[in-house]
Amino acid sequence: MTARANTAAFERTPLIPRVACSAGPVDLSTTLCGQRMTMPVMLAPTGLAGLVHPDGERGAAQAAQRSGCLMVMSGAATYTIEEVAAAAAPPWYQVYLWRSRSFYTELIERAAAAGVPGLVVTVDTGAKGRKEKDLENGLTVPPRLTLRNGIDTLRHPRWVAGVVRGRRVVVKAFDGPEPSRLAGLVARASGSADMVTDQMISATWAELEWIRSVWRGPLAIKGILDPRDARRCVELGAEVVVVSNHGGRQLDGVIASFDALRGVLDEVGDALEVVVDGGIRRGTHVLKALCLGARACMIGRPWVYGLGAGGGAGVAAVLEQFRSELTVALTLLGAGEVTRLDRSFLAAPSGT
Cα→Cα distances 115→67, 273, 339, Å: 20, 21, 28
- Please give the backbone phi and psi of residue 274, each rounded to the nearest 5 degrees, phi first: -115, 130
Q: Which of 12, 14, 15, 10 is nearest to 333 (CA)?
A: 15
Q: Which of 85, 118, 108 is nearest to 218 (CA)?
A: 118
Known catalytic residues?
246
State the alpha helices, DSSP H only, in the chain: 2-11, 56-67, 81-87, 101-113, 132-137, 147-154, 157-166, 185-198, 205-214, 227-236, 257-268, 283-292, 301-333
CA dist., res. 212 & res. 214, Å (int): 6
Buried/exposed code over 151-164 (b: 16+ C-beta within 10 A; e: otherwise):
eeeeeeeebeebbe
Residues 293/48, Cβ–Cβ less than 8 Å: no
**One-letter identity of residue 107:** L
CA dist., res. 208 & res. 228, Å (int): 16
CA dist., res. 83 & res. 57, Å (int): 9
CA dist., res. 226 & res. 92, Å (int): 24
DSSP secondary structure string for all residues of 209-242: HHHHHH--S-EEEEEE-SHHHHHHHHHHT-SEEE
